[in-house]
């Protein structure tokens, strides 16, 4: 149902924006450890543009259409490596969610988005990037698909949160931080951290009674 899709996309993106605004300074500090410190700013700019785009007429009234325009707007507004990468994740997830949302269709859509993400960024597991939170997220979403989309998402977000924390032990091999890799020791990857915050906020919004 169109109107329900429109409300859903607004609810999840607004929850994601709130979480990112609250974490803007922390994400900036994490990115400043071994890179240029702009990740918090880029994420808030990107998410504000994504929410505005999802509310615009071009979004139409479906979840799929809302995520598609949100992804493009995110990439344009956020800039940087993570802007383009998050833009692809959002847009490709939207492209994969044209029909009914089930645990299975959601896992398929996210897998498809992860493939496009890897094609663009060329990161490998263990390179200390967002991918190190995204892969365990996608795996859990698939493993828990039979529990339904909301329960699977919440479990996957928990897994992503643990995985993002665990990136503190990794050495960056992609992105700006790779140049000052030693400095990053003991600190979580900024992109993995923002990803965990985003999917956690979305899980809470999906679980909340309306
Ligand atoms: P920039 O490095 O352009 O300033 P951001 O600071 O917004 O961009 O984002 C940095 C984050 O982007 C990193 O913490 C990492 O998670 C992610 N990232 C950077 N390059 C890649 C890549 N090639 N593949 C996957 N993720 C990447
Ligand atoms: Mg940066
Ligand atoms: Mg930058």
Q: Where in the chain are the domains?
A: 2-207
21 alpha-carbon distance from chain centroid: 14
Task: Report helix angle 39-55 to 63-78, nearest 10.
Answer: 140
Closest ligand 1 atom to 38 CA: 6
* Nearest Cα residue to 117 out of 23, 191, 198: 191
Residues with C-beta less than 6 Å from any ligand 1 atom: 31, 35-36, 38-39, 42, 80-82, 85, 121-123, 129-131, 174-176, 189-192
pTM greater than 0.95 (yes/no):
yes
Q: Which class would CATH give 2-207?
A: mainly alpha
**Which tokens in the block code for residue 157?**
């977000």
Distance (Å, rounded) from C-alpha 164 to C-alpha 206? 21
- What is the mean pLDDT of the segment spanning 147-156? 98
ipTM over 0.90: yes
For residue 210, pLDDT over 70 is answered with no
């Amino acid at each position: 149902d169109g109107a329900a899709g429109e409300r859903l996309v607004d609810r999840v993106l607004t929850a994601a924006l709130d979480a990112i605004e609250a974490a803007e300074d922390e994400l900036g500090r994490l990115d400043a450890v071994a890179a240029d410190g702009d990740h918090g700013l880029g994420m808030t700019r990107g998410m504000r543009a994504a929410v505005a785009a999802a509310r615009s007429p071009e979004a139409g009234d479906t979840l799929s259409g809302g995520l598609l325009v949100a992804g493009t707007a995110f990439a344009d507004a956020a800039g940087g490596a993570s802007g383009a990468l998050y833009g692809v994740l959002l847009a490709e997830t939207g492209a994969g969610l044209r029909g009914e949302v089930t645990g299975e269709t959601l896992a398929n859509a996210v897998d498809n988005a992860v493939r496009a993400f890897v094609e663009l960024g060329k990161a490998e597991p263990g390179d200390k990037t967002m991918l190190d939170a995204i892969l365990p997220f996608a795996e859990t979403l698939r493993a828990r698909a039979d529990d339904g989309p909301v329960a699977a998402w919440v479990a996957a977000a928990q897994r992503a949160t643990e995985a993002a924390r665990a990136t503190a032990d990794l050495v960056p091999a992609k992105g700006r931080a790779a140049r000052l890799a030693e400095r990053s020791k003991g600190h979580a990857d900024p992109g993995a951290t923002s990803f965990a915050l985003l999917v956690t906020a979305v899980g809470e919004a999906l679980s909340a009674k309306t």
